[in-house]
Amino acid sequence: MKALVYQGPGEKVWTEKDKPGIEKPTDVIVKVTKTTICGTDLHILKGDVPAVTPGRTLGHEGVGIVEAVGSAVQNFKPGDAVLMSCVTSCGKCANCKRQLYAHCSDGGWILGHKIDGTQAEYVRIPHGDNSLYPIPAGADEEALVMLSDIMPTGLEIGVQYGNVKPGDTIAIIGAGPVGMSVLLTAQFYSPGRIIMVDMDPARLELAKEFGATDTIHVGSEDAIAKIMEMTGGLGVDVAIEAVGVPATFDICQKIVSAGGNIANVGVHGTSVELHIEDLWIKNINISMGLVSTNTTPMLLKTLGTGKVNPGRLVTHRFKLDEIIEAYEVFGNAAREKAMKIILTA
């Protein structure tokens, strides 16, 4: 089979590789029908994630058809259409028992990280019963791919950890795929005002279509001054960081209101300066973490009702074997006006 293989910082190749087989009785082998590229894959290619070693197949999102199941798999059989979660979970360990699947003792984020991932014709999914979801009949497969990672990440780490409530004023710093997922899922909780902050005017336009009430273009406007002016000097109830650099975290600590929340969603590679001398007196909370995907069943239900359509995040489509070209487009997202890319086998 063919797979997109990491070969060290800056190096990747679409190449022939052995088809995965059942290694443990709980494994499921999935024939990938649709997958995508995540910002995290770009981080890996930069060499930011040293746990990923040369030879690893990348990718942790996608949908597919069950090809084979191990002897202990009960919920799936060959031919079943499945959604693959970016997080693998056994469902039995102490952390899984409290739905903290991100920290499963035999799973967590391992796909395209510690084991071969989904940017391939076939992938082995450990603990298939707990890590796969049946695809409802008639579901939009492109929208479903957004449920592998970015939608649960936006909902759990941005909206739920940030405790977004009806009527709140919230600010989302970063209008990339995960920031947009925060924007879409925050609306389940009816915040009064959603301020989207980004450097890319095209992404801010899209954010307005997706429900942002206000947008701030960093570069032509001072985001902190503007938000303080917009909120009468109070700041926002929830400041959500969806980039992963010190400058955007700093905006969040400057705009959070007394009693508010800073929810960090971004993946950080360097330390940030925490202004505890200003924040200690403000009764705020700061949260962060890795998605557990415990909200995936709920998101699947909302998809069915049409309450939210994450398929709108898809801007580009390629064949799976055009993945090198797709990486080129996703890696130059501003120039290409790219949000999410769907790769179809």
Task: Provide the binding-site residues for Zn ion, judged by CB under 5 A.
Answer: 38, 40, 90, 93, 96, 104, 149
Residue nearer to Zn ion on the CB measure, 67 or 149: 149
Residue nearer to Zn ion on the CB measure, 169 or 293: 293
Residue nearer to Zn ion on the CB measure, 117 or 191: 117
Residue nearer to Zn ion on the CB measure, 49 or 272: 49
CB of 191 to Zn ion, least distance (A): 25
Residue nearer to Zn ion on the CB measure, 158 or 235: 158
Q: How many residues does the chain have?
A: 345
Give, rounded to a whole angstrom, the gap between the first and last alpha carbons of the chain. 12
CB of 121 to Zn ion, least distance (A): 20
Determine which helix (DSSP H) or strand (DSSP E) holds 68, and give its type and residue range.
strand 62-69
CB of 329 to Zn ion, least distance (A): 17
Burial of 250 per CB tally in 10 Å (0-12, 13-18, 19+): middle
CB of 293 to Zn ion, least distance (A): 11
CA distance 62 to 34: 5
CB of 151 to Zn ion, least distance (A): 11
Q: What is the 3-state secondary structure (H, E, C) of 94-111?
A: HHHHCCCHHHCCCCECCE
Residue nearer to Zn ion on the CB measure, 157 or 252: 157
CB of 209 to Zn ion, least distance (A): 23
CB of 149 to Zn ion, least distance (A): 4
Residue nearer to Zn ion on the CB measure, 38 or 256: 38
DSSP letter assigned to residue 115: B
CA distance 238 to 241: 10
CB of 108 to Zn ion, least distance (A): 8
Helices (H) and strands (E) in the chain, counts: 13, 15
Q: Where are the beta strands (DSSP E) in the chain?
A: 2-6, 12-16, 28-35, 62-69, 81-84, 122-125, 132-134, 169-173, 193-198, 214-217, 236-241, 256-264, 285-288, 314-319, 340-344
Burial of 50 per CB tally in 10 Å (0-12, 13-18, 19+): exposed
Q: What are phi and psi of 68, to 5 degrees?
A: -155, 150
Residue nearer to Zn ion on the CB measure, 149 or 237: 149
CA distance 118 to 111: 7
CB of 87 to Zn ion, least distance (A): 10
Range list of H helices, 100-200: 128-131, 141-145, 150-153, 177-186
284-310 core/surface letters (b: 16 or more CB in 10 A; e: else): bebbeebbbbbbbeebbebbeeeebeb
Q: Are 201 and 218 in contact (CB under 8 A)?
A: no
Residue nearer to Zn ion on the CB measure, 90 or 286: 90
